[in-house]
Structure 1
Amino acid sequence: MEIVPPRAILAMGAMLNFFGYFMVWLVVTKRISKPHVWQMCLYICIGANSQSFANTGGTVTCVKNFPSSRGVVLGLLKGSVGLSGAIMTQLYLAFYGGDNKGGDSLILLVAWLPVLVTCIFLPSIRVMKDIHRDNDVKIFYNLLYVSLGLAIFLLIMIIVQKKFAFTRVEYVLSGVVVMVLIFSPLVLVIREELNIWMSKKGDISRLNISIQVENPPSSKTNWSFCFKSAFKPLERGEDHTILQALFNIDMLILFVVATFGVGGTLTSIDNLGQIGKALDYPDSSISTFVSLVSIWNYLGRVSSGFASEILLDKYNFPRPLMLTFVLLLACIGHLLIAFGVRYSLYASSILMGFCFGAQWPLFLSIISELFGLKYYATLYNFGSVASPIGGYILNVRVAGHLYDKEALKQLEAKGIFTRKIGDDLNCVGVQCYKQAFLIISGATFVGAVVSLILVLRTRKFYASDIYKKFKEESQVVNGTIVTSREID
């Protein structure tokens, strides 16, 4: 988004989404010849990574449009992402019914539905002049209430559909309710736009409106300046160049914290089913864990976004300190898994879902606050890289390796020293994940300690009014609108 507008980013994401998943669908349904493994991996990679374009185009645009409420905006948007899996499930059931076991239908749905939604709303996605309005917060809370209603309905449907067999009509009705709840915020938005339009229509006849743009920035990036100024320190909150941000100690601290924090909770969530089997939980309980993680992931995202914004606005409570508390809470969840306390996996799944979700609005808000919004699209995606890195280290190299080691030990104890190639290793008991999650707990605690360093480094910054310049850049004074912020 530093080079092209949001619409181009979203359009590219839509094309990649359709191409990647449509090619997978063609392969699965045998409409094309069987591809090589690397080709299939490429199709999956293209389809899966297309969401980065949608996330960047939508999230960064909204943060730039509402810079004084970025925690709230990130909480709402990331919360919606947290519900997306449950939403797609309900829509799939509405389109194809509960008896349709073919994964090909789901793949095709994932290929075309996001593209259709993107094409419909593409004209409305743009960075606008930020004119602060007193009722912005009220609108955000109304959107939150609608979002909570959607989350509650999805939770009820997940529970009810597991207890009772639904007919095709009932699946369609539940899908219709989901669609109504998804699109109901449009009523709030259209009403607000009409109020703004009527207000402007009345004001234009009696106000002398002039727009003053101070120091309009160039749309081209001066890369030679970026390299020369890479190690030149700037005040926190100023617009850093990409290299200035990447070589900043604060960014290094945030990256380490996200690697351990997000990586640890992601490992817990990815292995939740396997952990349940190792601890001898019934299949019904394991499916409940997955549902709990999904809903609490959403609640973690919206609550951390709104709560951190309220605390920051009223008490100058630093967002990095709230991130520290979330990491310490995650340590408790990891320890519950490590020691395998009876029935503790219910509580652990709630904690893991909440903490995984809560970290994202905090982490992404801190990046925008410390390093500015000019290159936020690039920095946003750089910060997101911490998740797969942490997941690989803690999930593959720690949890996966130690699980296989314990499983082999159990086979040897039974006198089985050889196994067929391709056979899965199954481990039973607390010892399967105990050592791994003790290590993950330690890594998460280290992340919490490191985040305290950031708290100390940024205490003066967060003690000030960090949004002051955005409030001053968009204001109405004596009938004159003055704005000096960059407009893409």
Structure 2
Amino acid sequence: MCEALRFIVFMIKSRWFTVFASFMMMACSGGTYLFGTYSKELKQTLGYDQSTLNLLGFFKDLGANIGIFSGLIAEVTPTWFVLLIGAAMNLFGYLMMWLGVTGKIAKPAVWKMCTYIAIGANSQSFVNTGALVTCVKNFPESRAIMLGLLKGYVGLSGAIITQLYLAFYGNDRKALILLVGWLPALIGVIFVYTIRPMKVESKPDDLKVLFYFLFVSIAFALFLMAITLIQQSITFSKGTQALTATAVCFLLLFPLFISISEELDNFKLKEHPKPPTQISIVHLEKYPSNQAISAPNTLSISSSSHPGGTPFFSNIFNKPPRGDDYTILQALFSIDMLILLIATLFGLGSSLTAVANFGQIGESLGYKPETIHTFMSLISIWNFFGRVFSGFVSEILLMRDQIPRPLMVTIVLFIATTGYLLIAFPFPGALYIASVIIGFTLGAQLPLVYFILVERTKPFYKGNIYKKLRENAEQVKAEEVEEMASPSFSNGFK
């Protein structure tokens, strides 16, 4: 019993449990993608016109994409404090919206509703800063893959919350706002102390475990898509919907079993360490005592440094070569950042606008309210596939074929235009295809932008730094073995 208790404590403090907790938080933090589902309730209950609804959608996107506040707070406070702020903001913002829509408080002014939805949406940036950034730090060798997985669960969150909402509240779209408010806050409070940076050395099996997570998440996404399409043609009873929600929760918790399996071996090794192998040490006076030993094949990583006393604004326009570290001001005044900003503003902005108004578009084309749920779920599911694609596939294409990520962004934006054209020139069933295309391209864009911003140093710009380190280590080891086999080394034992 004591050993089981020690394992539970060890598990909660482990690196893989941090990954699972981050999955849970990400899977419930995509309330912004459900705006198209409950926007009609805001319009009818509060008497808004389409322009006011678009204003609310603008403040939703504004709050969701301003991450500077969470980043600054994270610089001076621990991770748990950042996550608690995010949970409080999420609960406050969406709870006030729900109170206004249900008439439990006086009808809020438009500026108040804009403030509420901006605060609720901005909580997503605190979750990203607390959970996503922490996991990327804990897995530096696989940060692109980790980023794709975590952002993928954000993409799935819309479909996950939809299934839970149908099981809890039926088809009451006002209650969806309440669910989006309390569920992420509850998950954040439960896992707030388990997510933290750890100084743990990466292992060769880490990539294999991440692929296990990938396979589970893909199976989860396919299950959600199948359920969504079945619900389009068959009306589920309350019991069937509860059973579906139970299956969703089980698949959502499945990564926990992978984490337990991985940490169980680490716990056994810690509790019962293997005895050290006895070796004999031969002292060789190969180097003089006052001579520094330097490896000829080491990889040096230099970061940009500035001499003491130099003003921080003195080198704004004296930028380092492309691929080196930039300061914030150097990045703001660089052509590369300007191009990336324009591509993100118009590319990602167009996709977010289409998603926010998808419910209104579907109703204007004569689709039923149940079909609107299908569209939003398809967008969420394919959002997941886009995020995972940008994480795993872009890393493979970069390493194997040297295809740069900016070119991948261009291709994704080109594909997104076909979805917009399907909305502009619709035909029967066109919105099903458009929801898939827009969901996929929306999911793929943002992680690619993150990757481009993160890959700042030359070793990452030219390839995987850890691959280079391993190659150097193997080369040094081979030279040592060759040296040991030489006659001069053998004479040292005689």
CA deviation string 1:11-33 (max 9, x = no partner)? 11011111222233333444444
Give the residue type in structure 1 aligned to 2:234.
F
Q: Which residue of 2 aligns with 1:71?
A: 144
Are residues 1:249 and 2:320 paired?
no
Are residues 1:136 and 2:206 paired?
yes
Q: Which residue of 2 aligns with 1:25?
A: 98
CA deviation string 1:25-72 (max 9, x = no partner)? 333444444444433332222122211111221221122222222221
Higher mean C-alpha displacement, 127-136 vs 231-240: 231-240
Q: Which residue of 2 aligns with 1:42?
A: 115
Give distance in 1, aligned partners of 2:332 and 2:104. 46
Q: Which residue of 2 aligns with 1:2?
A: 75
Distance 1:122-1:157 versus aligned 2 partners, 3 A rule: same
- Picking from 96, 105, 112, the partner of 2:182 is 112
Give the residue type in structure 2 aligned to 1:298.
F
CA deviation string 1:180-220 (max 9, x = no partner)? 11111011112212223334556686399xxxxx99x9xxx
Post-superposition shift, 1:307?
A: 0.5
TM-score of the two chains, using structure 2 as the length reference: 0.66
Higher mean C-alpha displacement, 351-360 vs 223-232: 223-232
Give distance in 2, aligned partners of 1:225 and 1:309. 38
Are residues 1:101 and 2:172 paired?
yes
Post-superposition shift, 1:280?
A: 6.5
Q: Indicate the structure whose relative CO is greater, using CA pairs within 8 Å and at least 6 residues apart.
A: 1
Give distance in 1, aligned partners of 2:427 and 2:177. 38
Q: Is the 8 A contact 1:369 1:466 kept in 2?
A: no
Q: Which residue of 1 aligns with 2:219?
A: 149
Are residues 1:14 and 2:87 paired?
yes
Are residues 1:181 and 2:255 paired?
no
Give distance in 2, aligned partners of 1:236 and 1:52. 28
Kindly, what percent of the aligned residue pairs are identical? 50
Give the residue type in structure 2 aligned to 1:14.
A
Give distance in 1, aligned partners of 2:357 and 2:332. 32
Give distance in 2, aligned partners of 1:83 and 1:467. 31
Q: Which residue of 1 aligns with 2:437?
A: 351
- Picking from 289, 292, 297, the partner of 2:378 is 292
3-state SS in 2 of match to 1:18? helix
CA deviation string 1:298-338 (max 9, x = no partner)? 21111221101122233333222222222222233344444
Higher mean C-alpha displacement, 227-236 vs 61-70: 227-236
Q: Which residue of 2 aligns with 1:194?
A: 264
Post-superposition shift, 1:286?
A: 6.0
Distance 1:224-1:170 versus aligned 2 partners, 3 A rule: farther
Q: Is the 8 A contact 2:380 2:439 kept in 1?
A: yes
Give distance in 2, aligned partners of 1:91 and 1:40. 25
Q: Which residue of 2 aligns with 1:164?
A: 234
Q: Which residue of 1 aligns with 2:418?
A: 332
Distance 1:292-1:94 versus aligned 2 partners, 3 A rule: closer
Give the residue type in structure 1 aligned to 2:442.
F
TM-score of the two chains, using structure 1 as the length reference: 0.67
Aligned length: 377
Alignment of 1:375-394 (within 5 A): none
3-state SS in 1 of match to 2:196? coil
Q: Is the 8 A contact 1:82 1:297 kept in 2?
A: yes
Give the residue type in structure 1 aligned to 2:346.
F
Post-superposition shift, 1:250?
A: 2.0
Post-superposition shift, 1:357?
A: 1.2
3-state SS in 1 of match to 2:215? helix
Q: Is the 8 A contact 2:162 2:377 kept in 1?
A: no
Give distance in 2, aligned partners of 1:473 and 1:84. 42
Give the residue type in structure 1 aligned to 2:99.
L
CA deviation string 1:232-268 (max 9, x = no partner)? 4235555433223323332222111212221233334
Distance 1:58-1:225 versus aligned 2 partners, 3 A rule: farther
Give distance in 2, aligned partners of 1:226 and 1:207. 53
Higher Rg of the two aligned structures: 2
Give distance in 2, aligned partners of 1:10 and 1:473. 40
Q: Is the 8 A contact 2:232 2:374 kept in 1?
A: no
